Amino acid sequence: MELQYRGKHILAPMVRVGTLPFRMLAAEYGADITYGEEIIDHRLLRCTRKINKMLGTVDLVEKGTDSVVFRTCDEEKSRVVFQIGTSDAVRALQAANLVSSDIAAIDVNMGCPKSFSMSGGMGAALLSKPDLIHDILTTLKRNLNIPVTCKIRLLKTHHDTVELARRIEKTGVAAIAVHGRKIADRPRDPAQWDGIAEVVSALSIPVIANGDVFEYSDFQRIKDATGASSVMVGRGACWNPSVFRSEGKLFWEDVKREYVKKSIEWDNDLKCTKHTLREMIVHYSCLEFPEGKGINCCCSLSDIADMYGERDFYTEVVAKRSQCRVHPFAGINCGS
């Protein structure tokens, strides 16, 4: 069944955060759709698709290395969205074809304001290139048998944003996500929900509202304010993915330990695991406290397990893997 974009609570794409363990945890807490972190098309084209029998996953592994660029599993196939960073229609399609059979939808990143993305003509740099946007989206739409969407930011005026959104709608995309901030805005600047509302009123396809969702009640608040079909949450989920629970958020320390266990279970990249833990700690505590400093000293998931009192769980998981007798091409790496 094709992915639907109305009435959904969605995990936003977040670099180094939105890997498989975090997506699975967010879904456990109630996320209907989970976006993976943005992957640049150039990098994806250097990958080979491999079946990881030890983990029960599909891995996109960088050729000549053990580096897993993207990991997914059957359990999330109906809800996981792969976000691609691109500035070229042909290259975007080539990259998308590598993953299209393992995911629910493809999203094109048109909202990232970071210099590494914009300098390559990707992310928010595309917002000033409507012809290229049209070329990329129509090429993907014509050649893929899964939904194609994109995520944008507000332009200088609401009128400009609406005009671009209308042009995007004409490409046949299944939905459009709108982050209620402009390129120059910082996370501390309030999201402009009125700008999202302008886009909603102008389009007939689902619009996904994104910006300043930190509590479960905010899902309904932003829907009421904008009329959006669905709601996407980024930082609020990064700090505590149980934001998706209708019953309310769980204590962040408990959520953090569940994330550690998921990272062990899915053999997550160490750098991504440490980054995500740091994001949680810096929001609720301080990286200068012993926990933050301890994270910096961890050189393996085994170290992470010890730090959070999950040695028994780690040992059990490793023992189960050893019974598989398959070479773990995606090993537990040391990094910072």
Catalytic residues: 112
Structure tokens at 22: 């975090």
CA angle 87, 85, 209 (to 5 degrees): 115
The beta-carbon contacts of 135-140 under 8 Å, at least 24 apart in sequence, are 135/89, 136/86, 136/88, 136/89, 136/92, 136/108, 137/108, 137/168, 137/171, 137/172, 137/173, 138/89, 138/171, 138/172, 139/89, 139/90, 139/92, 139/93, 140/89, 140/92, 140/93, 140/96, 140/106, 140/108
Number of H helices, E strands in the chain: 14, 12
User: Using CA atoms, how far apart are residues 336 and 119, in angstroms rounded to an integer?
Assistant: 26
User: Using CA atoms, how far apart are residues 206 and 220, in angstroms rounded to an integer?
Assistant: 16
Which burial class, exposed, middle or buried, applies to 224 when counting CB atoms under 10 A from its CB (0-12, 13-18, 19+)? exposed
Sheet arrangement for strand 47-52: 47-52, 57-62, 68-72
